[in-house]
Amino acid sequence: MTPGPDGGGPRLAVAATPGTPRPTRFGVGGVVLAGHLVEPPSIDPTLPGLVLCHGFPPAAQRAEVAALTFPDLAQRIANEVGWVILSFAFRGAGESTGDFSLGGWAADLDGAIHHLLAQPRVHGVWLAGFGTGGALSVCVGARRTEVRGVATLAAPADFDDWASHPRRLLQHAREVGLIRTPGYPASMDAWSRELRAHRPILAVRDLAPRPLMAIHGSEDEAVPSFDARVLSDSHGSAELRIIAGAGHRLRHDPRAMAMLLGWLDRQKHAVTGT
């Protein structure tokens, strides 16, 4: 893979019409994360919840727009499949504060799970992530028993390429705006160690037998489709979908989105019977 492709604290939620995104904020340590919540126009007293995770910005994209279209995706999932959706920006991205580290992003996902489960109608949480967000969904989901299933899209099986060239990654993160604080990180060694500490290929074994869907493009230029295959094999009972001719940017591939919505619909039916 190349650069390119504690849940407490303050919370803010603004009322909105059901089926439309409403801004929300939640704290993770000293970082404030910005996101959107969408509830479907449903009278069901309890609903499944999904956390949507964006990926690492490529060189052509600024960090402030990394999660820009995810509220639209959240709205589509909520209205078409009937889930409560939380989309959010990891630290350093969008309107979230803080600076990128892989361990920090994992902590952010922990906080997002906590925030979604605190919503009154949410019963059970699933994760869906793109690229780095998908890989961290596997890692965090594996150790969080509240997570009932994970979908990955163009996710790497490990971060070994990044770990082999940490200063290159650090420079890239600065160039796209994920790191803005002068002198960050205080310890390059500690920041770099996090890149090897998170290993989806190992964590996915602990996620099993909970459901996993791995979606990948056959022509992914940033993360080889082989990564999806080894993640699926290590899980043991994953649904693997390789999309012919697709690249890394699956967020805007209608085939990938149809697969994700279909999987979520099946997950909902399996737990609710509706």
For residue 234 the two structure tokens come to 């290590």
Provide the pLDDT for residue 19.
86
CB contact at 8 A, 89 and 68: no
Per-residue pLDDT tens over the stretch 141-160: 999 999 999 999 999 999 99
Task: Indicate the DSSP class of residue 239.
Answer: E
Among 18-22, 121-125, 189-193, 200-204, the range scoring the smallest mean pLDDT is 18-22
- Which CATH code for domain 11-272? 3.40.50.1820
Per-residue pLDDT tens over the stretch 224-248: 999 999 999 999 999 999 999 999 9
Paired strand residues for 214: 152, 240
The span from the CA of 189 to the CA of 209, in Å, is: 35
Provide the pLDDT for residue 22.
96
Q: What are phi and psi of 128, to 5 degrees?
A: -140, 125
Q: What are phi and psi of 165, to 5 degrees?
A: -135, 60
The span from the CA of 82 to the CA of 43, in Å, is: 10
Q: What pTM was computed for the model? A: 0.92
Per-residue pLDDT tens over the stretch 37-59: 999 998 889 999 999 999 999 98
CB contact at 8 A, 132 and 108: no
**Hey, CA dihedral for 117, 119, 123, 129, is it positive or negative?**
negative
Task: Indicate the DSSP class of residue 252.
Answer: G
In angstroms, what CA-CA distances link 125 with 9, 55, 161, 234?
20, 20, 31, 22
The span from the CA of 76 to the CA of 70, in Å, is: 10
Question: Domain ranges in the chain?
Answer: 11-272
CB contact at 8 A, 74 and 85: yes
Tallying the residues shown for the chain, one arrives at 274
Of 106, 164, 130, 157, residue with least CA distance to 4: 130
